[in-house]
Amino acid sequence: MSSLDSSYNGTNAAYTLHTMLWLTPIAIRNADKSLFPKTGLERCYSKKCRLGTTCRKSLHRNLYMGNGNSFGRCFRISTWGESHGAGVGVTIDGCPPQLPLTLEDIQKELDRRRPGQSRIVTPRKELDEAEILSGVIDGQTIGTPIAILVRNQDQRPQDYDTVAVKYRPSHADATYDAKYGIRAVAGGGRSSARETIGRVAAGAVAKKILATYCNMEILGYVQRVKDISTTNVDTNQVTLEQIEQNIVRCPDERVAQEMIELIDKTRRTGDSLGGVVECVVRNVPAGLGSPVFDKLEAELAKACMSLPASKGFEIGSGFSGTYMTGSEHNDEFYIDSDGRTRTRTNRSGGIQGGISNGENIVLRVAFKPTSTIGKVQHTVSRSGEEVELRGKGRHDPCVLPRAVPMVEAMVALVIVDQLMQQVAQSFLPFRKESIAFHTLGKELFH
């Protein structure tokens, strides 16, 4: 957490806040008026001013530093780039050395994410070809930061002329203006799903680590589009091939065709749809996650809810569990033929007390209908008038098919980070007699 995240509560914090404030750029000054229109407070921009000596202005205590582009602790990523800028990408810090890693490992995930892959996603023509700039030599990671770049190619900034002056309902135009007082209009800048290229590329590296060291597998699929859903997917058995066999990424072929038809029909009317991605992590060692604030499900929820257009998160039985009694809901324990403690059902979704219990982690993420639509809607202009807006440009009529690799990536990033934290905390020094070693260490270091 940055020093600016905390509220004004002491001289040191206040001094840091204030020093940072006069160093921060014009963007925040511009944001003042829209963020705090009724406070009547003015900020002192004099470089001579020092809080606690001459400055008595109290607006500082309400301000936050704009950040939020980095994620993870041990396996830390930072994404960068705007939709219509030169390119987008990611820097990964903390990747273990000597991991076999090829461009193909990354490209195959980016290909599942890229626009123009089918008639039910945005037709923007981007090949999204990744370049590894650093951190990998001769097909192996070398332990230094890995930088991955994808250059933007197919841009039509003129599609966003109207959006420059009229806010798209439920998009990020108005809030970015409120926060920064300036925004990259074309393509939505960093609010565009193009930002997730960096996450998916980093997720590919995370997946490689998890598969290499723990045989872990992460698979997402579309479970629901509007009111068309499948209940026929076995999370123990579902395969990548079944998921990738159709353009909507639903492994239930009959339901997939209904979803595709609905998206097609809705797209032709200029409207959009939402739905749910379900994701399963298999071969999860017991013991990942931390109690209290950093519970594993809390980390996963934050990761998934940071995806654009996400509106809900569930783990295991989720909200449906509230319709059951305790005796119906509890996952009873038993010992399996290998002597391992298992649960007969998995309503916990593989996590109890914030810590993985060795069962599959099963979660769901709700995505809203795409906000930019080809229908006329009421909105306001940047200059404060009520106006009408019909969205134009190339947009996803339903974000779900492309959201699948994004959910998988965010889940992979959390799990790899938790795995590295667990090793850092619990296996120094290696105490082979400890229970922690027996649950996780046995699988990692046998």
Ligand X SMILES: Cc1cc2nc3c(=O)[nH]c(=O)nc-3n(C[C@H](O)[C@H](O)[C@H](O)COP(=O)(O)O)c2cc1C
Under the rule (CB under 6 A), what is the footprint of ligand X?
122, 171-172, 188, 191-193, 307-309, 370-372, 395-396, 399, 402-403, 406
The helix, strand and coil proportions of the chain, stated in percent and rounded to the nearest 5, come to 35, 20, 45
Question: Which DSSP category does 194 fall into?
Answer: G
- CB closer to ligand X, 94 vs 270: 270
Residue 302: CB minimum distance to ligand X, A: 13
- CB closer to ligand X, 166 vs 402: 402
Residue 195: CB minimum distance to ligand X, A: 8
Q: Within the chain, how many helices (H) and strands (E) appear?
A: 13, 18
Largest Cα separation within the chain, whole Å, is 73
Dihedral angle at the C-alpha atoms of 91, 97, 102, 108, nearest 10 degrees? -60
Residue 187: CB minimum distance to ligand X, A: 9
The amino acid occupying position 193 is: A
Tell me the H-state helices in 166-311. Answer: 173-180, 196-214, 240-243, 253-268, 296-305
- CB closer to ligand X, 87 vs 321: 87
Q: Are 368 and 382 in contact (CB under 8 A)?
A: no
- CB closer to ligand X, 115 vs 135: 115
- CB closer to ligand X, 79 vs 372: 372
Element at 31 (helix H, strand E): helix 26-35
**What is the Cα Rg of the chain in Å?**
24
Residue 168: CB minimum distance to ligand X, A: 7
Residue 391: CB minimum distance to ligand X, A: 7
- CB closer to ligand X, 136 vs 403: 403
Residue 197: CB minimum distance to ligand X, A: 11
Residue 272: CB minimum distance to ligand X, A: 8
Residue 79: CB minimum distance to ligand X, A: 14
Question: What is the distance between the alpha carbons of residues 131 and 373, in angstroms, rounded to a whole number?
Answer: 33
Q: How far is CA 199 from CA 114, 315, 393, in A?
A: 13, 21, 25
Going by C-alpha positions, the residue among 317, 259, 250 that lies closest to residue 277 is 250
Q: What angle do CA 308, 312, 314 make, to 5 degrees?
A: 130
- CB closer to ligand X, 307 vs 416: 307
- CB closer to ligand X, 399 vs 414: 399
